[in-house]
Amino acid sequence: MDSLTQIVLGASVGEAVLGKKIGNRAMLWGAIAGTIPDLDVFIRYFTDPITSTEIHRGVSHSILFAIVMAFVLGWLVHKNEKLTFGLLTLSVFGLTAIVTPSAMFRIIMILLILGVFTLIYFTKIKSTVTAKDWGKLFFWSLVTHPLLDAHTTWGTQLFWPFEYRLAYKNIFVADPLYTVPFLILVIAALCYKRSNTKRTKINNWALIISTSYMALTLVFKGIAQYKFDSALKEQGIAYTEMDTQPTPLNSILWSAQIETKTGFTSGYYSLFDSRPIAFHTEIPKGHYLLKPYENNKQVQQIKKIATSWYFVEKDTNGLVFTDIRFGQFGFDDSAQYMWKYNLKKNINGKLEVERSDFSPRDINMKKAFGDLWTRIKGN
C-alpha cells in the first residue's frame, strides 16, 4: 500500500512489540522497518523500467527477507543504536539525493542527513533491550508490510524464491477508511507515556480497527463476486475466469475483469446499486499478435507481469499491450486503461517495449473523481 499507511502500520507494530520498554523509539524503529521493503523502488535507477517493475514486491517483500533483515538489524541496533540509525538515514536519503534529477531536492536530502546526524550526536540513549527483542520488533514490522500489500491488486512474492505472487485484491493501494483512523489512533497513543496503560489500549484498538476493516473488505469482495457471477449467468455470458478488485480510494465500488474464450469484458458494482450490472463490449484478446515476438525477453517479462490479464492491439506505430488488472480512467467503453506498453521496432528492426505513461493533462481528473463519487453512490 502507500508509504504513509506502511509507516503507520510499522509504528503501531513496533509499539505493540517494544513500546513498554523503549517508548517512542519503538514506534520510530517500527516506522523505519515498515518502509524498508519498498526501497526496492530504487532498482529502477539501476536497471530498465520493465525489469524493475517485474522485481518490485519480490525478494524485499518475502518472509525470508524479513527473517534475515530482522536478525541483521536487531544485532546492529543492539550493538550501536545511534550508529545504525545514522547509517540507515544516510543510505535512504543519500540514495535519494544521488538518483534525484532535482538539484533543490538533492540539497534538501543533504540537509536532512546533516540534521539527523546532528540530532543523533546530541541525543543520549540508554536501553537494556536485548538483540532478541530488537529482532522481534524488526521481524514483525518488516513482515506485516508484505502481508498488508498482499491484499492489493499487485500482491507480493511473500514466499520468494518461489514465483507465486499472493494477491487477495480486496483493498485499493490507498484507502482513507483504512489509513486515517489508524493514523489518528497511533498519534493519540504517541501522546501518552510508555508507562500509561492508555497508550497500549489505544494502540491495540488501532490494530483491531484497521484489521477489522480489512476483514470487512473481504466480505465486500465476496458480495461483489457473487453479484457479478449472478449477473453474468442472468445475461447468458459464459466466462472462463473473473478478477474483482475495489476502485480507487474506497471499498464500496468494485470492478470486475471477465475473461471469455475470445476476449475480455468488464463491469462495475456498488454496494448501493439498485439496478442490474451492465457489462462493457467485449475486447478481443489479440494474443496471437505477440507470436512473432514470443522469444523476446521484454515481451516475456510484460506477459509475466500481467499474468493472463492483457489484450494486444495494432496501432500505427506497432502494437499496444494493455494490462487490464488496474482498470480504466472512467466507466464507459471508451475510457482509457491505466497500464499499457507500446511495442514498436526501432530503425535497426529490433523490437522495443516501453511503458505508456499518462500525463495528468491527458485526463480530466476533476471529472474522473466526480464520476467515481457518483458511481459509488449507486446506479
- Residue 182's SS3 state is helix
At residue 120 the predicted structure's pLDDT band, cuts being 50, 70 and 90, is confident
User: Any bridge partners for residue 339, and if so which?
Assistant: 323
At residue 358 the predicted structure's pLDDT band, cuts being 50, 70 and 90, is low
Residue 361 pLDDT > 60 = yes
CA–CA separation, 210 and 204 (whole Å): 10
**Comparing 94 with 159, which gets the higher pLDDT?**
159
CB atoms within 10 A of CB 216: 15
pLDDT given for residue 186 in this prediction: 97
Query: Averaged over 133-158, what is the pLDDT?
Result: 97
Determine contact, residues 336/329, Cβ cutoff 8 Å. yes
Task: Please name the residues in contact with 337: beta carbons below 8 A apart, sequence gap of 6 or more.
Answer: 322, 323, 324, 326, 327, 328, 329
Residue 44 pLDDT > 90 = no
Q: Which three cell numbers stand for residue 69?
A: 533483515
Q: Which pLDDT tens digit goes with each residue over 222-246? A: 999 999 999 999 999 999 999 999 9
| Residue whose grid cell is 528492426 | 349
23 φ/ψ angles, rounded to the nearest 5 degrees: 65, -130
CA–CA separation, 105 and 115 (whole Å): 15
Determine contact, residues 148/141, Cβ cutoff 8 Å. no
Determine contact, residues 138/129, Cβ cutoff 8 Å. no
Which is it for strands 253-259 and 241-246: parallel, antiparallel or unpaired?
antiparallel
At residue 210 the predicted structure's pLDDT band, cuts being 50, 70 and 90, is very high
Domain boundaries, the chain: 3-217, 235-379
Q: Which three cell numbers stand for residue 208?
A: 483491531
Determine contact, residues 53/298, Cβ cutoff 8 Å. no
- Residue 219's SS3 state is helix
Give the end-to-end CA distance of the chain in Å, rounded to a whole number.
29
83 φ/ψ angles, rounded to the nearest 5 degrees: -65, -45
Q: What is the mean pLDDT of the chain?
A: 92
Residue 359 pLDDT > 70 = no
Residue 362 pLDDT > 80 = no
At residue 360 the predicted structure's pLDDT band, cuts being 50, 70 and 90, is low
pLDDT given for residue 325 in this prediction: 92
Q: Which pLDDT tens digit goes with each residue over 49-100? A: 899 999 999 999 999 999 999 999 999 999 989 888 888 877 877 777 776 6
Q: Which pLDDT tens digit goes with each residue over 16-29? A: 999 999 999 999 99
Residue 185 pLDDT > 90 = yes
